Amino acid sequence: MNRRNLLKSSAALGFASALPTLAAGKLLASAGAGQTQAGKDQPMAKTNPLTPPAKGSIPVAFLISDEAQVIDFCGPWEVFAGVAIPGSDENAFQVYTVAETLKPITATGGMKIVPDYTFETAPAPKVIVIPAQAGATKAMFDWIRMSTKGTDVTMSVCTGAFVLARTGLLSGKSATTFHEAFDGFEKQYPDIKLIRGARFVEDGNLASSGGLTSGMDLAFRVVERYFGREVTEKLAFQLEYQGKGWMNSGSNEVYAEYERPKKPTTGQLCPVCSMEGNPSISSSYKGKTYYFCMQDHKVTFEEAPEEFLKAS
């Protein structure tokens, strides 16, 4: 039996054993989740169960472009792919990648990925996962806005929060992001309440996680909201995942007071978010070259460069 079948078989067994208590599990799905405050501004998480379909899988779209952060989407991918429907060969979640074109994208570390669908051909998702990435475009923002009208959860991971924020959907809501991007996020999106030190933040059908591995905890949290605590604990056990952050949204409190060093150790900082600039993403203004962490920030800078230079 290969690894994938082992996970599916084990997850199905765990799922089946939890069915008698599934209703109760849903009611208690958030018990303990978010009960620790991340600093004085961290809101308490509320029980917010989701209803899985009577039959069939829950479609989960992973939105990718060049420089997509591998752990941001591969971690949650394994979480969602590991949940099986008992008595069926179907996974509880149907995972697939979506991009502007089917042209191979280059993720971090040089990984090459051929997207499964384009924005025009992708199945309508019930969950969207937005990792950190450098190739966000207007077409991507438009697709997120349109698709989120029908999602149970649209979630960002790490600086994928900048992509989600760029759509305008987070305006007036709460969110979090990678700890090194806190200052830049607040500067660029003052209308969004940034929660520093949160492992994840949920606001309506939008959710955001801290950096990197935090995305796995948010994915576990989404599984819990659909299928309850017991199913999710069994899934975490089968994946040998010992983290408990998915049970406690305030568990990134160690980053609550984080302040990014004022000067970069190498290279130049992105003038939009103050993260390390990518030498391949640059723009010239008044005889000086500026480097950006992602393409979207280059576009944002070019729309109003003086605003960012004045604040830096």
> Which pLDDT tens digit goes with each residue over 48-71?
899 999 889 999 999 999 999 999
Whether 228 and 28 have beta carbons less than 8 Å apart is answered as: yes
The beta strands (E) that lie in 50-142 are given as: 58-63, 93-99, 105-106, 112-113, 117-118, 127-130
pLDDT at residue 119, as a whole number: 98
- Predicted pLDDT at 311: 55
Amino acid at 86: P
**Amino acid letter for position 71:** I
pLDDT at 96: 98
Q: Whole-structure pTM over 0.75, yes or no?
A: yes
Q: Is residue 139 within a helix (H) or strand (E), and if so which, with residue range?
A: helix 138-148
Return the pLDDT at 79.
Answer: 98
pLDDT of residue 256: 94
Q: Are 224 and 246 in contact (CB under 8 A)?
A: yes
Fold of 3-255: Rossmann fold (3.40.50)
Where in the chain is CATH 3.40.50.880?
3-255
Low-confidence ranges of the chain (pLDDT < 70): 1-47, 86-87, 262-267, 310-312
Q: What is the pLDDT of residue 52?
A: 94
Give the span between the Cα atoms of 90 and 202, in whole angstroms.
Answer: 28
* Gap between the Cα atoms of 262 and 17, Å rounded: 53
